[in-house]
């Protein structure tokens, strides 16, 4: 299974905020959309920035004012991205190795979606269930 298949099955939209949004605004967007990360397209010279729950924790722990600090000050700009043809297995290994749980997917430089570790685990579980079903059918045929 590839990221293209995963995104098609997910049928989700990518949640974005502007680079100038405050951290408090980004938290509100994450909460309203029930997601743990937002993307910042064309963020200050990088193709895409990412800001996740982990970054929120860091801003808070450092004692900064969530209403004042802007997302562009604390987002990750050197974002690792996936391609539509990457396999779910490759992405799972990448996320585990690099210790992040979100991966924007770009097709020829254009943002086409965002997959989370939850999407990846679900895809693997679905695949395992399909394989078990196929084996059961084979055994009983």
Q: Which residues bind ligand AMP (CB under 6 A)?
A: 37, 50, 52-55, 76, 79-80, 100-103
Minimum separation from the CB atom of position 103 to ligand AMP (A):
5
Q: Could you give the C-alpha distances from 56 to 26, 95, 96, in angstroms and in order?
A: 9, 19, 21
Q: Quickly count: other Cβ atoms within 10 Å of residue 24's Cβ.
A: 15
- Return the number of the residue (3 or 102) whose C-beta is nearest ligand AMP: 102
Minimum separation from the CB atom of position 100 to ligand AMP (A):
4
Minimum separation from the CB atom of position 50 to ligand AMP (A):
5
Strands 102-107 and 37-43, bridge-based pairing: unpaired
- Return the number of the residue (53 or 126) whose C-beta is nearest ligand AMP: 53
**Which backbone phi and psi does 77 adopt, to 5 degrees?**
-100, -30
- Return the number of the residue (2 or 141) whose C-beta is nearest ligand AMP: 2
Please give the Cα distance from 105 to 85 (Å, whole number).
10
């Amino acid at each position: 299974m590839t990221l293209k298949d995963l995104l098609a099955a997910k049928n989700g939209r990518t949640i974005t905020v502007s680079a100038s949004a405050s951290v408090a605004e980004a938290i509100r967007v994450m909460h309203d959309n029930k997601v743990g990360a937002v993307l910042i397209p064309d963020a200050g010279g990088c193709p895409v920035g990412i800001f996740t729950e982990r970054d929120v924790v860091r801003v808070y722990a450092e004692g900064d004012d969530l209403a004042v600090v802007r997302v562009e000050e604390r987002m990750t700009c050197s974002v690792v991205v996936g391609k539509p043809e990457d396999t779910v297995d490759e992405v799972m290994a990448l996320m585990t190795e690099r210790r992040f749980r979100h991966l924007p997917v770009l097709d020829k430089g254009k943002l086409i979606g965002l997959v989370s570790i939850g999407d990846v685990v679900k895809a693997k579980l679905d695949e395992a269930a399909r394989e078990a079903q196929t084996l059961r059918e084979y055994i009983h045929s």
